Structure 1
Amino acid sequence: MAEAMQWPPLVIDYQGERLAGVDEVGRGPLIGDVVAAAVILDPARPITGLADSKKLSSKRREALDQLIREQALCFAIAHATPDEIDTLNIHHATHLAMRRAIDALTPAAEYLLVDGNKLPGHVLPGQAVVKGDARHDAIAAASIIAKVARDRQMVALDAAHPAYGFARHKGYPTREHLDALTRLGPLPEHRRSFAPLKHQHNLF
């Protein structure tokens, strides 16, 4: 992970093999779930080329997603829904999705490395790692499978509602998405607590 060289080496207070990398995708979009993943890599089956999912092409992410699913010791993907995001707020909903992913791992994790600056409130010990998807392979792996899972959700939503352009902008507040909202109004999957849906509800 070349980008990791820009950061000080990680000091991890755990020496075993059940260390789970945890990351999320989808905090910023106006629609759909926030998706979290947890991955325990298998030291006996290393995966080359892991990196922050945002730095990879779609084709490369898809290939790595398949490798992670085949070669990791275990992985889990979990969601928090738009209703949960609107009820809890995006920060707490993201942590809920992370806890769900961690709890779904079999075998269970013993230690967590979580991308970001806060742990998600799980009972397991661990540490938050700023820019973790560029600094540790397990977090990078979690970012990749979470990103692929959420992108597929957006492609499916695009097939059901092609006028919004979800396959292109993945739900982020691009001009195309905002224009479609103005013309067509929100879908049930839109996050009503997010601007512009919250601040421009009179349009809908």
Structure 2
Amino acid sequence: MDSRAVYRYDQIENTVTPKDEYATIDQSIRNDGIYKNGPALTSSNTIQKDGLAKSYNGDTVLVLQASTTIRQSNGMTYTYLQVQDGQDTYWIDSRGLHISNFATISKSSVNSYTTYINQKQRNDGVYYSGPALTSSDTLIANSNGRSYNGDRVTVLQTKTTKRSNGMYYTYAQVLDGNKTYWIDQRALSTKKK
């Protein structure tokens, strides 16, 4: 048999577990495949893609692992990330994502007062486990702020976060009836809307 007819799987050069990283899938100019069983072309289970990343475009995902592979045919290296997207876990080419570190808390204050949720012009996410993008539990909003529009709430505390792009955002932890959640401080208004 001609050796050119035998496919040699890509080799995994190394795998690391990133700490405190998340990513946003960006397939605006790419058309990457997703792979459930490992980085692309590294085994018989990853020769064919399991889906298209375009169907996940814009999703915020938790980065679980990063593997660098070496293409046996040309020696080129590629980096694939294993990501968790809600309940789905899959591998995707790192070039199809924007990677960030979790936001850090730069300032906290306890300052209790009563105010209202104003979502007439905004559409903020509501987070149960802390300010947005500060942990794996706050990558995806638990609900939509519009469903709380006009609610009278008590602010329990505020935290200012710094994202990896250098931008600062302040979130308020509020008590709304018997529910406690975090929402962008800009969603608060002194008057009922």
Same fold, judged at TM 0.5 (above): no
- Structure with higher strand content: 2
Q: Looking at secondary structure, tell me which structure has more helix per residue.
A: 1
Could you tell me the TM-score, scaled by structure 2's length?
Answer: 0.25
State the TM-score, normalizing by the size of structure 1.
0.24
Larger RCO (CA under 8 A, 6+ residues apart): 1
